[in-house]
Amino acid sequence: MFKKILVPVDGSEGAKKALDVACKLAKVDNASLHILHIPERLSRETMLVWGMSAVAMEASGEELEHAGRKSLEAAKQAAEERGMTDVQGSLGQGDPARVIIEESKNVNADTIVMGSRGLSNITGLIVGSVSHRVAHTAKCNVITVR
């Protein structure tokens, strides 16, 4: 039984699928949904799922936050379009795996639903993907979506 589901989104196709799965699970148990977005500077041009371009490496902190808020709002709107009524959201900053784990504690999430492939850079090859690191560290259920 789900009570609060945390869904980290980064604008990737995997995050879109994870949001869809999280909404379906939340509806079954009338759970609340908390969407987390951690804006990142990407070293390559990428078109994100919710129609927003990646923020260039040279972007200011203000531009990064603005783009992050737009992405978060788009994800919340997508959840509402899927019938969710209890949706909160927040922006994080820092190492995505650590931020996701901390946010799961802060919002008392019993489950994290996330894509298995996101927009992470080469770091994922060296230290492991974000979903892999979260799954092995989080103190709650973690569902990865492919």
> pTM here?
0.84
Residues 115 and 124 sit within 8 Å (Cβ to Cβ): no
CA pair distance 26, 30, nearest whole angstrom? 5
- Eight-class DSSP state of 41: B
CA pair distance 7, 144, nearest whole angstrom? 10
Number of domains in the chain: 1
CATH number at residue 22: 3.40.50.620
pLDDT in tens, the chain (146 residues): 999 999 999 888 889 999 999 999 999 999 999 999 998 766 555 444 454 445 566 677 788 888 889 989 999 999 999 999 999 999 999 889 999 999 999 999 999 999 886 555 444 444 458 888 898 899 999 999 98
- pLDDT reported for residue 87: 98
By residue range, what is the domain housing residue 23?
A: 4-145
